[in-house]
Amino acid sequence: MSPGPRSRVAFAFFAAALLFLTAASVAAHAVLQESSPALKSSVAGPDVPVKLRFNVRIDAARSRLTLVNAHGASQTLEIGKKDPPNAISAQANGLRPGVYRLRWQVLASDGHITRGEIPFTVVKP
């Protein structure tokens, strides 16, 4: 017995609703598209500019950047005020050669928080 036209329409409706809800939940989170320093890169110190670009608008005022050194000591970086709506930047000054982790937390414009970490190495200029 084959499904009737009503069954096909109902199936198509539920499939479209599921696709819409899945796409909406993926788009709701800020996804890091580009970073400087890049993931696992080596950069010349002692002063390192930091820039993160995301796929959606973010609330820079409620976002955070924290730099963690190889010994676990951390420092909060001040986020710049003149970034595009989908980016944040900061300046890490006086870094000694070694391994660092840049921890970031951003609030997307729809209220979802996303976190991540970017390991990188500072080398002598």
Res 110: pLDDT: 85
Q: CA–CA separation, 100 vs 67, rounded Å? A: 7
Grade residue 92 by pLDDT with cuts at 50, 70 and 90: very high
User: 4-24 burial, b if ≥16 CB within 10 A, otherwise e?
Assistant: eeeeeeeeeeeeeeeeeeeee
**What is the number of alpha carbons within 13 Å of residue 55 lying toward its C-beta?**
9
CA gap 77, 87 in Å, rounded: 15
Token pair for 92: 């890490």
Domain range 31-123, its CATH number among 2.60.40.1220, 3.30.2130.10, 3.40.630.30, 2.60.120.10: 2.60.40.1220
| Bridge partners, residue 69, by sequence | 100
pLDDT 10s digits, 60-84: 999 999 999 999 999 999 999 999 9
What residues does each domain of the chain span? 1-30, 31-123
Q: What percent of the chain has pLDDT over 70?
A: 78
Q: Transcribe 1-42 into DSSP letters.
A: ----HHHHHHHHHHHHHHHHHHHHHHHTS--EEEEESPTTEE
Q: Enter the pTM of the model.
A: 0.76
Q: Does position 94 have pLDDT exceeding 80, yes or no? A: yes
With cut-offs at 50, 70 and 90, classify the pLDDT of residue 10.
low
Instruction: Let me know: does 105 contact 117? Beta carbons within 8 Å.
Output: no
Quote the tokens at residue 1.
């017995």
In the prediction, which pLDDT does 24 show?
42
Name all contacts of 73-76 with Cβ < 8 Å and 24+ positions apart.
74/103
